[in-house]
Each structure stands twice: as C-alpha cells, then as structure tokens.
Structure 1
Amino acid sequence: MKICILGSGALGSAIGGALAEAGSEVYLINRRKEYVNSINAKGLILRSGIIDRTIKVQARTDCKGIGPVDLIIVLVKSFHTKQAIEDASELIGDQTMIMSLQNGLGNEEILAEVVGKERLLGGKTYVGGVMLGPGHVLAGIKNKYTYIGELDGSITGRVSRVSEVFTKAGLLTVVSSNIIGIIWDKLLINVATGALSGITKLTYGDLYKIPEIRDCAFEAISEGIAVAKANGVALSVENPEEIWLKAAEGLPDEFKTSMLQSLEKGSVTEIDFINGAVVRWGERSNIPTPVNKALVANIKGIEYWIKNNSINV
C-alpha cells in the first residue's frame, strides 16, 4: 500500500517506520529540513527498548512529486489540519482514503469540508513516540492498539484492507463499528488532564495528589459525558473517576501532557479541539459546560501571555 503521513513527528515516524518495514511504500512529510535530510541520508532509526534498527523510508518537506496514494494519515497539529490537507491535493486520487489519527475532536469535520466525507476513515491510536534526535525515534508500539472504522459504523472492504496492512506491520489494529464512540473515549481522557496540567504546570505525579484538581477534572469529564450522550454517542465508560484514572494508566510520574509540552515550548495548544470541542458540542445541544469553558479561557490566557512576552512559561 502506498501511504503518506502528513505530520511525521515522533508518532507519525513510529507508525510510518513500522509500515515501511513491513513492505508498504511510505512517505513521511515533515517541514523540518534537518529531519528530512537525516532520514533520506541515513534512514529512519527506530528504537524499541534499547535496540535501534534502521528503516529505509522516504521523507519530504512537502507532497510535490509523490503522486496519488492509497492512504493519507493525518497527524499534524489540529490547527494545521485544513492547510495540510489542502497542500496534499496531488496525493488524492480516485480511490484515496484519508484517516486522521490526531488528538481531539473536529478534525474529521475539517477534512470532510476539503475532500468530502466519503473519503474519510476514523481512527484513534494508543501507539506512542518520542523524538530522540533528527530521524531517531523511540517507538512505543508493543501492546498498543489502534482503532479504525468507517464514520457511519459500517464494516467495509477498504477499512479491512487498512487493518490488514497495519496488523502486518505489528500495529495491533481493531476495526470498530463505533469509531465515533472511540474518538470520544480518547477525547475525554485528554479532557481529564490536558488543560489542568497546562494551567498548573504539574506533571502527573503531582497532578494526581491534589483533591481539588481531581474534583475539577471530574466536573469537566462529566460535562463531556453529558454532551456525548445528548448527541447519541456510545461511550465505553461513563464513570468520571474511571476515566480520570485511565488517563494516567501506565504513565510515569514525570509525564507531561501534550498541552503542557506545547506551552513550555511557547506554542499554541490544541485546546480548541479538546475542551473547546466539548464546549462547541454542548452549545449545539443546549448542554451547559461551564468548567470546560473556564479551562479553555485559562489556556487561552496563558497562550496570549506567552505570545506577548515572547518567553516560555
């Protein structure tokens, strides 16, 4: 299968490297020339445990010259989704599938506006990756599941083909008839800790010691559950405490949420696609979401302060 990954950071490289190693024709798109040049010169180095292996894969700073592909995997930051898929127009042929594995909620809507809903597959992955250096990635693939599915819940030949390619590459993949529910399950895990960690600057070890933070998280999660149910979304878990605990499952005390990492780098966050998504869907459904609104306001305030002071938090 010919596959292009838009936004090949640590996660995209881990997935793309596994797919390439298993025989797919893979193109990694990353805007950083240093990263692209390293991979094209030396190969992509994936580390599993303490063992490094080198994988031959093609890297580009843009999509020019690649031609139509079978599958586009979108892994850019959510606020770059529209631009990324517009810039990838030459990758899209008659049978091209497009699948987001991004954080949060709302990327499928953006993609559908540009390419049409009929091309889309839904997806959510628990695979992880850590960038060790240009073209060198620690890949967290073992025992980590990826869920994919048609947005309407049907089981089709095309989604089964993608699952087979992923499974062949060692990526544990499940075809789901409820991919929207799975996307919401992951959203609520991000709602539980992302903004609270970003606001307080606390890693998980300290975040989980403070009862008031836990209580606030429960309220934010409960709002998300109410909004999901009002929109007919079937969740796998509807207990805020269970979601709160699941958010930290298997993670070290020093773990930082992606939202905190973004703020520490002086970058904008994906708040609009996480807590902000709960707020938007709540407004559509007349479900109040005051805690999520407050968390969004706080993160927006921090982003504004960073931008206008030109220094990290």
Structure 2
Amino acid sequence: MARVAVVGAGAMGSVYAGLMADAGHEVHAITLWADHVAAMRANGLRVEGASGDRTVRLQAATTTDGIGPCDLVIIACKAADVVDAARSAKALVGESTVVQTIQNGLGSADRVAEVLGAERLSVGVVGGFGASLTAPGHVHHNGMEMVRFGAYGGLSGDAVERGASVWRSAGFAVQVFDDIERMVWEKLIMNVAFSASTCLTGMTIGEVLAHPEAWHVARRCTEEAVAVAQARGISLQVGDPVEHVRELGGKIPNARPSMLLDHLAGRRSEIDVINGAIPRQAATVGLAAPVNDTVTALVKAREVGFAA
C-alpha cells in the first residue's frame, strides 16, 4: 500500500482521499478548513454518491508538518493556491515521490513545476465528478467519469504509471496520456461550457442543457475553445466536441460546478484560468473569443467584494 498526501482536501480532494483510504492506503488529507479537519479526526470522512456510501478513517491536518516523505503527493487545491500548496508540499517529497497536480484550466502545472521540479511532476485531469462538501467531514459526488495523467517534463513512464496505479487500486478508471496538451484541452472544452454558464444563471448542468438560451452560451464557449485548440494544432480526439460535452454533461445533470459553488459561498472563482484563458490563447493564434471574454467579464463583475 502507498503513503499518500492530498494537499487541498476540498470537495474533489476529499473524494480522492476517501476512496484511497478505503482501498487501504495510508492517506493524509491536508486542508486549511479547520472544521473539516476536526470532523474527519473525530468521525472519519464520509464519501457518498456514485461510488457508494462509506465512512473511512484517515489522517487529517491543516499543515504538512510532521508527515514526512510520501510515495504520492496529490496537489488538489484551486489554481490560485497552487504555489503555496507546492511550497508546503516540499516537506512531503522524497527521492522517489511522484507529484500529481490536478487543477481546472490552464497554467497551474507550470507554476507547480517551478517549485517542485518538472522531473517529478505528473499532470492530472479529472472530470464528471460533480463533487461538493455537504458538511465538515462529509463529501458527495455525482459521478466519476474521467481520470487522466501524463508526464509534465522528465518524469518517467514508470513513475507516471506508479502514481496512476494508486488511483486504479481505489476504483478509479485511469488513462495515461503522452500528449498532455490534448489531455488538458479535452477537459477544458467541458469546463468552459458549464463553469461560467452555471455560475451566471445558478442552474445545474442539466438545467443549462435543457434551457435553449443557456445552452447556446455554453455551446459557444466550447466552440470558441475548440477553434483555438485546432488553430494551435491540438488534436482533440473526442468525436464531435459539442456532442461530447453534451454527453458528459448529461451524465451529471444535478451537478453544480465548482465555479457556481464558489459564488454561492462568496468566494472568487477560477474564471481567469478557465473561460478567461480562451481569449488569451485565441490572441496568440490570431483569433477572438468574444463569448468567453464576455462571460469572464460578467463573472468577475459578480465577484467584486468576494473573498479571495
């Protein structure tokens, strides 16, 4: 069994931690949310939803102090926090540690690599979970569709597989990719569809799909992202990208993406690295992305006065 640290045990990170602990791994869940830590220490972590319903025991803490080197370190925080998370993870990294960084959008892996080194880093993409924290010590997820990993820099294929094997042992279906740009953009076209559209309307993914005007906006966000990917020479191997997004979204109709959950909690979202990344990338290949640019501006306008 592996020694695993999940740095950023929010909704998604808690699902990872709980299922890995249930599989028998030694898991350390690290989150700044003290109430969540207290609940996990007192009563264990309850994980319910698509994977079933279980309560597991694991190690929970607000810092990485005293944990020591792990076999696998998963950085699962929001994009805005990856540098601080990577710095805190230094104490968890030994000579053979595999580091996996899993964030929405573009750019986080570059920032983690600067702190922890490209040679030990695996980039992860997950989707179709629809995870939310129901209460301290209690996480729910609507699905578990997509778990993908690829080497960021000099990490060997064996090391990527070693990290992926921990996930497989915990019931996750994992694919390993050689082309991490393709891997990241295949997830990004889903993120841009439903992140801003649900955030601005308050709808679930299923409600966006069923509402003609909301789906029109979501679809155009995806179409702009696909055009940028194609212009950059990124081969998206998902068939018709819009139908791919519609199909994946249809599998988790009750899900509320993290951007909507952030706004409901009065927190700033990851809009800059998701929808906001598309106009920036478009400009590098002579394109425009007016719908993504507009929804980004609207989301940021709503965030005035929100906590960081």
Q: TM-score, normalised by structure 2?
A: 0.88
What secondary structure, in the 3-state scheme, does the structure 2 residue paired with 1:162 have? helix
Task: Give the equivalent residue in structure 1 for 2:90.
Answer: 89
C-alpha distance in 2 between matches for 1:53 and 1:147 = 24
Q: Compared with structure 1, are the counterparts of its residues 225 and 6 closer, same or farther at alpha carbon in structure 2 (3 Å cutoff)?
A: same
Task: Give the equivalent residue in structure 1 for 2:131.
Answer: 129
Task: Give the equivalent residue in structure 1 for 2:76.
Answer: 75
Segments of 5+ residues of structure 2 without an aligned counterpart are: none
Residue type of the alignment partner of 1:291: V
Q: Is the 8 A contact 1:151 1:180 kept in 2?
A: no
1:65 paired with 2:66, answer yes
What secondary structure, in the 3-state scheme, does the structure 2 residue paired with 1:267 have? coil
- Structure 1, residues 131-172: CA drift from partner, whole Å, max 9, x if none? 23221223556x634111223699711111122222122122
Q: Is the 8 A contact 1:218 1:240 kept in 2?
A: no
Residue type of the alignment partner of 1:292: N
Q: Compared with structure 1, are the counterparts of its residues 117 and 86 closer, same or farther at alpha carbon in structure 2 (3 Å cutoff)?
A: same
C-alpha distance in 2 between matches for 1:115 and 1:155 = 16
What's the offset of the Cα at 1:303? 0.8
What's the offset of the Cα at 1:122? 1.5
Q: Is the 8 A contact 1:5 1:12 kept in 2?
A: yes
1:199 paired with 2:200, answer yes
Percent of aligned pairs with the same amino acid: 34
Task: Give the equivalent residue in structure 2 for 1:272.
Answer: 272
C-alpha distance in 2 between matches for 1:283 and 1:237 = 24
What's the offset of the Cα at 1:224? 0.8
1:262 paired with 2:249, answer no
What's the offset of the Cα at 1:212? 3.5
Q: Is the 8 A contact 1:192 1:247 kept in 2?
A: no
Task: Give the equivalent residue in structure 2 for 1:3.
Answer: 4
C-alpha distance in 1 between matches for 2:30 and 2:99 = 15
Q: Which moved more, 1:132-141 or 1:67-76?
A: 132-141
Task: Give the equivalent residue in structure 1 for 2:293.
Answer: 293
Q: Which moved more, 1:235-244 or 1:260-269?
A: 235-244
C-alpha distance in 1 between matches for 2:199 and 2:184 = 22
C-alpha distance in 1 between matches for 2:50 and 2:255 = 18
Q: Which moved more, 1:188-197 or 1:243-252?
A: 243-252
C-alpha distance in 1 between matches for 2:219 and 2:141 = 31
1:281 paired with 2:260, answer no
What's the offset of the Cα at 1:26? 1.2
Q: Which moved more, 1:112-121 or 1:215-224?
A: 215-224
Q: Is the 8 A contact 1:153 1:176 kept in 2?
A: no
What are the within-5 Å matches in structure 2 for residues 1-313 of structure 1?
Answer: 1-47=2-48, 52-126=53-127, 127-139=129-141, 144-151=145-152, 156-237=157-238, 239-252=240-253, 254-304=254-304, 306-307=305-306
Q: Compared with structure 1, are the counterparts of its residues 30 and 191 closer, same or farther at alpha carbon in structure 2 (3 Å cutoff)?
A: same
Q: Is the 8 A contact 1:271 1:299 kept in 2?
A: yes
Residue type of the alignment partner of 2:270: E
Segments of 5+ residues of structure 1 without an aligned counterpart are: none
- Structure 1, residues 199-252: CA drift from partner, whole Å, max 9, x if none? 233334542344343333333222211221232322123635314413522223
What's the offset of the Cα at 1:266? 1.1
C-alpha distance in 1 between matches for 2:118 and 2:233 = 20
What's the offset of the Cα at 1:82? 1.2
C-alpha distance in 1 between matches for 2:51 and 2:119 = 42
Q: Is the 8 A contact 2:193 2:222 kept in 1?
A: yes
